[in-house]
Amino acid sequence: MQTQPVYDIEERGTLVFENSELPLTPMEWQQLESLVAQSPFEHIIGGDAGESHSVHVSRYYNDVEEPVALNAIAPAIADIVMSPKMRRFYARFTGTETLCLRRCQANKMLAGDFIGMHKDQDSSPDYYATVVFHLDSAYTGGHFETCDQRRYRPARHMALVNNCSISHQVTPVESGTRLTLACFLSPSFAPSRRPRKNFRVEK
């Protein structure tokens, strides 16, 4: 279903939504946090577009060849983040409720961890908007920073939305744990158009 976007993500690039602006209920936030807490993480030191990272990642969906669920937890995550009411919310900045969850992962960052400057569309030109749900506030550092040096630090149960053509990074976490759930949305359900490198994992 096509609709007129309320927010122009092409012009604004990055949006931040307060908890009160999101359709998620307290129970749904609790469910997301519980699912992430059950998930295994691996320490990633390099992204699939060649960028440097230090971040602990648990993946639920990926589209190296085509969008697929990676484990038994993935459908429960999707039931929440891709519910009809959430699709209506995403249409406010994508202009459509017909969206594919091409990639979804939890990112856990401890003291010293960072995400290097990168553009999500370098991983896949199909990515349109990344919605980052923040699951914790008890940390310092860890700012989301765009290439024009705009900085954002959403609190727990807020969401940041970034246009996937915008380069960005996450500055080093100084203390505590920064925990997020990143959902990469696209109007395309087709197989991936670009082969990707493997993530570099700390051995």
For the entire predicted model, the pTM comes to 0.93
Range with the poorest average pLDDT among 13-17, 96-100, 113-117, 199-203: 199-203
134 CB burial (10 A radius; 0-12, 13-18, 19+)? buried
At residue 4, what are phi and psi to the nearest 5 degrees? -80, 120
CATH fold, domain 9-186, is: Jelly Rolls (2.60.120)
| Alpha helices in the chain, H assignment, sequence order | 9-12, 26-37, 74-81, 84-94, 120-123
* pLDDT (average), residues 41-60: 85
Q: What is the pLDDT of residue 193?
A: 78
* pLDDT (average), residues 9-28: 97
CA 126/CA 123 separation, integer angstroms: 9
Q: What is the pLDDT of residue 201?
A: 45
Residue 176's pLDDT band, with cuts at 50, 70 and 90, is: very high
Q: What is the pLDDT of residue 199?
A: 46
Q: What is the pLDDT of residue 197?
A: 54
